[in-house]
A = this chain, B = another copy of it.
């Protein structure tokens, strides 16, 4: 009665620390890799026949072997290596998708100078990428997750729908805080990934700081536009901006005013604004 319409399998959360030992300093890369394969695997689903199945444990081994053999110049380059490897090495693999998230380690400063072999944990922000590779095509997507930003002014939310379900007042000057998730596709599979990433990130931060926001939606649109302008190789960008509400605490029961000074940060519920921008 049932037919297998789609299937895939892989290994997730393969964590890797890579130390590159140079003469004057060490470099540190820490990341987590997810691998997903599609192909001629129906027999294991329908008959328990595993002869074409590459064990997910072998996928895990492959991550460490390729990291040793090729290094990790950027997560995009490493994901391309991995995705191509699986498609080229195994006839039964038709498509490989490799997602990588990189942790933010910073070089420690000691006495005001960067230390050659000591690192300090950075923010929650992660640099991400997803490479999808088939025999015919390759798609490289880069991204940012959990980039927390907050502006204490130059944000309003006014003149929205007033009806029987509304209790929220207009706000002419509110705190705007969000945790940016951005993902953008590239127009080719060979760019200076690190430079493009830096440009997109800087452009989004600059616009976030400098514009006057009349809605999170407007902020999203401006950030996305700035990103596409900053990197001509970025083809399309999707942003997800949760509204990390800071709610003014009502001090009037205590005979005090609240001149936009005291807020309650809340995690839930939260607004979630999304949008995808492309080039015209």
Contact = CB atoms under 8 A, between A and B. Distances in A.
Interface of A: 1-21, 26, 28, 30, 34, 36, 41, 44-62, 64-65, 67-69, 90, 105, 108, 110-111, 115, 117-125, 146-154, 157-161, 163-168, 175, 179, 205-206, 208-210, 213-218, 220-221, 224-225, 228-229, 236, 238, 242-243, 246, 249, 251, 253-254, 256, 258-280
Nearest to A149: B120
26 contacts: A2-B224, A3-B277, A7-B275, A8-B274, A9-B274, A13-B267, A17-B263, A20-B261, A21-B261, A45-B215, A46-B221, A54-B163, A55-B157, A55-B160, A55-B166, A61-B253, A64-B264, A65-B251, A68-B256, A68-B261, A69-B256, A108-B149, A118-B208, A120-B123, A121-B123, A167-B253
Contact of A279 (B3, B167, B246): B3
Contacts of A277: 2-5
A65 B120 contact: no
Per assembly, the copies of the chain total: 4
A276 B2 CA distance: 10
